[in-house]
Amino acid sequence: MKILQERLSKYDAPQKAMAAGIYPYFREIESDQDTVVKIKGKDVLMFGSNSYLGLTNHPSIKEAAKRAVDKYGTGCAGSRFLNGTLDIHIELEERLAKLVGKDAALCYSTGFQVNLGVVSVLTGRKDHILLDELDHASIIEGSRLSFSRVLKFKHNDMKSLETKLKLCSPDSLKLIVVDGIFSMEGDIVKLPELVKLAESYNATVMVDDAHSLGVIGKNGSGTASHFGLTDKVDLIMGTFSKSLASLGGFIASDKDTINYIKHNSRTLIFSASMTPASAASVMAAMDIMISEPERISRLWDNTHYALKRFREMGFDTGKSETPIIPLFIRDDIKALVLTRELLSDGIFVNPIVSPAVPKENCLIRYSLMATHTREQIEISIEKITKAAKELKILP
């Protein structure tokens, strides 16, 4: 056996979880991504999706994708840099820039590629990247590809951020990169305080709005808009795989910054373009998001109701204030068993266990859609509470 195979063969954590009957990943869904999905022929209430506006199966979006395939085919057969730029890519970028209040935008094939390709390319050897310790993995990976010094500050702790800023050379480029809504904790970045610090230390601010688009801000335009700080945030990143019901991502900023990224970001230059169907789907989803603001209102009605009910039941939901509701279990095995029991009882949730989070912070990630009914939410809370009591997670 070669050294690689010998080494990797020792990795058996998934096999152990499977043998124990508590392996919770790669669950096969046999239907569209809706409030109810089919798994092994059984209807299951979906509370593990990022489809915040419930648009993934919207007829208008599906028709837009079909029309794009009819006109452009199924793929671009190349990168944006060479032969893979379509007129709908340009139209989408113009519309995205307008939505988030920036001069220009640039689309990538996935949101992960955006952060990987942008965070890694903006700063140099004598510069600094400052990250919230709970930033998304794609931001972390982008910082690792940079030649800059990376400094992490405590989660949403502006005193900690200032301590790190003081370590930076006054003349260096200082790039602060944060999630707008944190993807596991469900809290919102303290952007007003962060922007004040950035101004004091002449730092650049980049906000990852993957979980903020379609959720907060004017017309669902994200975190900077939510706080009225669009002009103070230098770069806005977003994804299409959540509220916008497609696949891909974008970065928006001033024209000079986008021009530089367009000609230097390796994950753009050396990756194939987002498909025509994906681009068309995003534009159709944006049309619905803007023309049907009641979807965002319903999402927030569901959020406020679910948070209130979970807290009444005795769950620790941390500092969540968004449709992402963490139910802290603080025991890996119990979190995995709870996930298994809920799926067998018709409820789909996502367990977040170590090493993704420290063992003492393991949780069940419960997420809402605008299209969930009050009855569906109540059924899920009753079943989660019942199972949590049986497992002695709740008294």
- Which amino acid does the sequence have at 141? E
CA 157 vs CA 131, 163, 178, 323: distances in Å: 11, 10, 12, 22
Reference 278, options 242, 240, 250; nearest CA is: 240
- The reply to whether 242 belongs to the active site is yes
Q: Choose, from 109, 120, 138, 183, the residue flagged as catalytic.
A: 183
Could you say which of 89, 128, 242, 372 is catalytic?
A: 242
Structure tokens at 131: 């990250």
Instruction: Answer yes or no: are the C-beta atoms of 186 and 318 closer than 8 Å.
Output: yes
| Cα dihedral 238/285/272/266 (nearest 10) | -10
Of residues 211, 226, 334, 372, which has the active-site annotation?
211
Strands (E), the chain: 36-39, 42-46, 104-108, 128-132, 149-153, 174-179, 204-208, 235-239, 249-253, 324-328, 347-348, 350-352, 363-367
Q: Is 49 part of the annotated catalytic residue set? A: no
For residue 124, the tally of other CB atoms under 10 A from its CB is 11
DSSP SS3 for 92: helix
DSSP-based three-state secondary structure for 395: coil
Our answer to whether residue 211 is catalytic in this structure is yes
What are the backbone angles phi and psi of residue 192, rounded to the nearest 5°?
-55, -45
CA nearest neighbour of 233 among 204, 259, 190, 264: 204
**Annotated catalytic sites, by residue?**
183, 211, 242
